[in-house]
C-alpha cells in the first residue's frame, strides 16, 4: 500500500519527512506539498511539519555520505519545486543510505542521473539570476529589482549579492513566489509586500531617482552599439537570453 504524506513545503519539513519514513519503516510513499495536495487521495494522509532536531539528524546522515557538492545539489533539486521531485529525492536518499560506497557519481542509476540533471538546471537558473537582476535606484536609496525565475533560486543567490553589494541597500523580489530579500547594509532579511499597495508603488516611476532613467537609456544605447550587425545571430542570442526574461531586463525594455 502506498502511504500518502503531506508536508508543509519547507526544506526542514521535507527532511523531517525523510526521518519519519525511516523511523516508521514506511515502504512505498507518495510525498505531496501542502498546497499541491489533491482531494482525491486514498486513505488517510500523514501530515508532517518541520521538526528541526529530526531534520538535523537526516542532514548529519547525509553529510556523512555525500560531498558538500552532493548535498548542495540535493537542496537545489528541492528548490526546483518540480512536481514529484520529493519522491525522486527520497529514492536518491534511500540509495545513498543503502550503499556502502558513495553513489553520487553512479550515473548508471536513473535517480542519480535525474537529480544531477535537475540540479544542473536549477544551478543554471541561479547563474541566470545573478546575471539578469537589474537594479533600479529608488528615491530612498534602495536598489530594487524584480525577478521571475523558473525555480526558487533566491536562497541560492543571497550570498552572492550580499558579498558583492555590501555598500548599498538593495531588494530582490520574486514576483512569482511573492517574496523577496532586503539587504539593509548589515544583514539580509526576507520581505513580503502587500501586493496591491506596495507593488503598485514600486512600478510607479516617481519612486525612482531622477538619473535612474538616464542610466537605463545609457545602458540600452551601450547594448545597441556594442553589437556587430554583420555577425547577427538571433538563434544564439535567444538561447542565451530567452524571451521570458526580457520583461525584467533593462536593455530589452
CB of residue 150 vs another protein: minimum separation in angstroms?
A: 18
Q: What Cα–Cα distance (Å) separates residue 137 from each residue in 56, 141, 142, 159, 160? A: 40, 6, 6, 21, 19
Closest CB to another protein among 19 and 143?
143
CA atoms of 174 and 123, how far apart (whole Å)? 17
Q: Which is nearer to another protein, 56 or 162 (CB)?
A: 162
**Nearest Cα to Cα of residue 114 among 81, 85, 148, 157:** 85
Q: Cell numbers of 218, please?
A: 545609457
* Cα 158 to Cα 155: distance, rounded to the nearest angstrom: 6
Tell me the backbone φ, ψ of residue 54, rounded to 5 degrees.
-65, -45
Report the nearest approach of another protein to the CB of residue 214 (Å).
5
CB of 179 to another protein, least distance (A): 20
C-beta of 141: minimal distance to another protein in Å?
Answer: 11
Determine contact, residues 249/132, Cβ cutoff 8 Å: yes
- Nearer to another protein by Cβ, of 28 and 166: the residue is 166
Closer Cβ to another protein, 64 or 228, answer by number: 228
What is the C-alpha separation between 173 and 191, in angstroms, rounded?
Answer: 8
Measured from the CB atom, is 99 or 200 closer to another protein? 99
CB of 66 to another protein, least distance (A): 14
Strand partners, 3: 29
CA–CA dist 253, 146 (Å, integer): 14
Point out which residues bind another protein (CB under 8 A).
101, 103, 105-109, 113, 127, 130-137, 143, 145, 160, 163-168, 214-215, 217-219, 221-223, 225-237, 239-241, 249-251
Minimum distance between the CB of residue 133 and another protein, rounded to whole angstroms? 5
H helix or E strand, kind and range, residue 204:
none
Please tell me the distance from the alpha carbon of residue 139 to that of residue 209, in angstroms, as a whole number: 5
Nearer to another protein, 132 or 151 (CB): 132
Amino acid at each position: 500500500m502506498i502511504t500518502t504524506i503531506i508536508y508543509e513545503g519547507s526544506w526542514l519539513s521535507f527532511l523531517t519527512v525523510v526521518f519519519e519514513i525511516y523511523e516508521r519503516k514506511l515502504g512505498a510513499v507518495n510525498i505531496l506539498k501542502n498546497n499541491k495536495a489533491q482531494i482525491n487521495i486514498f486513505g488517510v494522509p500523514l501530515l508532517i511539519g518541520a521538526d528541526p532536531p529530526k531534520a538535523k539528524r537526516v542532514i548529519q546522515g547525509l553529510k556523512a555520505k555525500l560531498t558538500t557538492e552532493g548535498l548542495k545539489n540535493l537542496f537545489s533539486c528541492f528548490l526546483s519545486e518540480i512536481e514529484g521531485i520529493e519522491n525522486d529525492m527520497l529514492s536518491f536518499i534511500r540509495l545513498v543510505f543503502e550503499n556502502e560506497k558513495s553513489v553520487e557519481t553512479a550515473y548508471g542509476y536513473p535517480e542519480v542521473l535525474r537529480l544531477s540533471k535537475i540540479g544542473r538546471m536549477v544551478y543554471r537558473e541561479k547563474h541566470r539570476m545573478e546575471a539578469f537582476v537589474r537594479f533600479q535606484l529608488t528615491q530612498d536609496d534602495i536598489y530594487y529589482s524584480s525577478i521571475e525565475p523558473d525555480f526558487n533560486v533566491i536562497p541560492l543567490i543571497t550570498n552572492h549579492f550580499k558579498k558583492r553589494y555590501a555598500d548599498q541597500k538593495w531588494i530582490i523580489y520574486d514576483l512569482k513566489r511573492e517574496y523577496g530579500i532586503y539587504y539593509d547594509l548589515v544583514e539580509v532579511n526576507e520581505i513580503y509586500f502587500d501586493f496591491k499597495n506596495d507593488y503598485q508603488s514600486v512600478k510607479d516611476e516617481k519612486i525612482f531617482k531622477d538619473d535612474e532613467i538616464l542610466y537605463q537609456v545609457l545602458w540600452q544605447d551601450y547594448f545597441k552599439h556594442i553589437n556587430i550587425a554583420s555577425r547577427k545571430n538571433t538563434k544564439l542570442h535567444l538561447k542565451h537570453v530567452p524571451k521570458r526574461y526580457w520583461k525584467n531586463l533593462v536593455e530589452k525594455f
